[in-house]
Amino acid sequence: MTTQPKILVARATFDSVLARLSEHLDVQANQDDVIFSREQLLANLQGKQGVCTGGSERIDAPLLAACPDLKIASNVAVGYNNFDVDACTAAGVVCTNTPDVLTETTADMAFALLMATARRVSESEAFLRRGEWKKFKFDLLCGSDVHGSTLGILGMGRIGQAIARRGALGFGMNVIYHNRSRLSAEQEAPIKARYVSKQALFEQADHVVLVLPYSPAVHHTVGAGEIALMKPTATLINIGRGGLIDENALADALAQGRLMGAGLDVFEGEPTVNPRLLEQTRVVLTPHVGSATVPTRLAMANLAADNLIAFLTGKRPPTPINPQVLGSA
Ligand code: DGY
């Protein structure tokens, strides 16, 4: 009897996905969804050729040195700032992620946060639930307009473009963006997107959406300086990673009424949320649920499984991050 490659599925997943994995691989699951300490992760990875990770498992050089059998790390996320990709590449370990399958769902969530922030939905509901709604009032909980306003997108990858489409085609928004590279004229034309400097984006946008991948190079890419450039009527939406914003600078700006509001799905110390943000009413807070619909989470889990099954049965994984490890075969 041939032995199957061994993998650790480090976080809970769908039973159907575990069943698929188990047809090809020897699977150790974690359906109780214990968040492994570093020591537990290392212990559970001994003798494993593959690992299926969420954002909470860091795969770096010391881990790779301690787990010499590991050949593939498959992240159930499009973001992979929990991977030291250079260290994995140097160790010949292939990294994979789950792009594309979550693009539209995550763009929906960006819009949900944008709408909720601009129109003060959370604040309005809390007001009503507290029993403070006694009469119709002309200036009650007035917010900012979304339709026809200027949408500034920082990070114009697949999700950024999906947000831009919603803004331009659904809400008649004027789309400006900043990105490492400019889109082609063919990509810009249907959404009339205009490439601007980062400074112009903060100065001109009525709603700024952060959707760029996190790396130390973009740590606190929005700090006091950027917020000071923004219109006092503007909103700031973050569906990328918490580390993109200096949360204390944002809390200061909200406390001083220097921004209309913020909508945040991701936090620097998540799942702990900066208490200064929790004190603010003009901020809509959600617990990193950007891609959280059942069909999309299932598609992400299946793609992560496809990557493991393909690679560990001698085929090319569909979505490698460091394809150079795979060679040209
Ligand atoms: C992603 O896919 O990167 C989401 O943020 C979930 O981690």
Average pLDDT over residues 183-203: 97
Cβ of 76 below 6 Å from ligand 1: no
Q: Please pick, among 58, 219, 220, 270, the residue that the annotation labels catalytic.
A: 270
Domains of the chain are 6-101+294-326 (3.40.50.720), 103-285 (3.40.50.720)
Give the pLDDT mean for 74-95. Answer: 98
150 lines ligand 1 (CB under 6 A): no
In this predicted structure, what is the pLDDT of residue 327?
82
Indicate if 219 belongs to the active site.
no
Active site residue 241: yes
Task: Work out the mean pLDDT of the chain and round it to a whole number.
Answer: 97
Q: Tell me the average pLDDT across 277-306.
A: 98
Q: Where are the alpha helices (DSSP H) in 198-293?
A: 198-204, 224-229, 247-255, 275-278
How does residue 302 score in pLDDT terms, banded at 50, 70 and 90? very high
Q: How confident is the model at residue 329 (pLDDT cuts 50, 70, 90)?
A: low
Omega before 271 cis (within 30°)? yes
User: Could you give the CA distance from residue 144 to residue 127 in angstroms, rounded to a whole number?
Assistant: 18
- Residue minimizing CA distance to atom 3 of ligand 1: 79
pLDDT above 90: residue 303: yes
Q: Is the CB of 109 under 6 A from ligand 1?
A: no
124-164: pLDDT as tens digits: 999 999 999 999 999 999 999 999 999 999 999 999 999 99
pLDDT of residue 1: 56
Ligand 1 centre to CA of 14 (Å) is 17
Overall average pLDDT of the 211-238 stretch: 97
Report the atom number in ligand 1 closest to the C-alpha of 288. Answer: 5
Q: Which of 241, 247, 282, 297 is catalytic?
A: 241
- Residue 291 Cα, ligand 1 centroid: separation in angstroms? 7
Please tell me the distance between residue 239's alpha carbon and the centre of ligand 1 in angstroms: 9
Banded pLDDT at 102 (limits 50, 70, 90) = very high
What are the residues facing 176 on neighbouring strands?
152, 194
**b/e sequence 35-46, b meaning 16+ C-beta within 10 Å:** ebeeeebeebbe
- pLDDT of the residue at 220: 98
Look up the pTM and report it: 0.96
Protein residue with least CA distance to atom 2, ligand 1: 77
Compute the average pLDDT of residues 79-104.
98
Nearest CA to ligand 1 atom 7: 77
Interatomic CA distance for residues 88 and 59, integer angstroms: 8
Calculate mean pLDDT across residues 192-213.
98
Look-up: residue for tokens 């819009």? 111
User: End-to-end distance of the chain based on CA atoms, in angstroms?
Assistant: 28
Buried/exposed code over 213-251 (b: 16+ C-beta within 10 A; e: otherwise): bbeeebebbbeeebbebbbeebbbbbbbbbbbbbbebbb
Annotated catalytic, 276? no
Which atom of ligand 1 is found nearest the CA of 54? 7
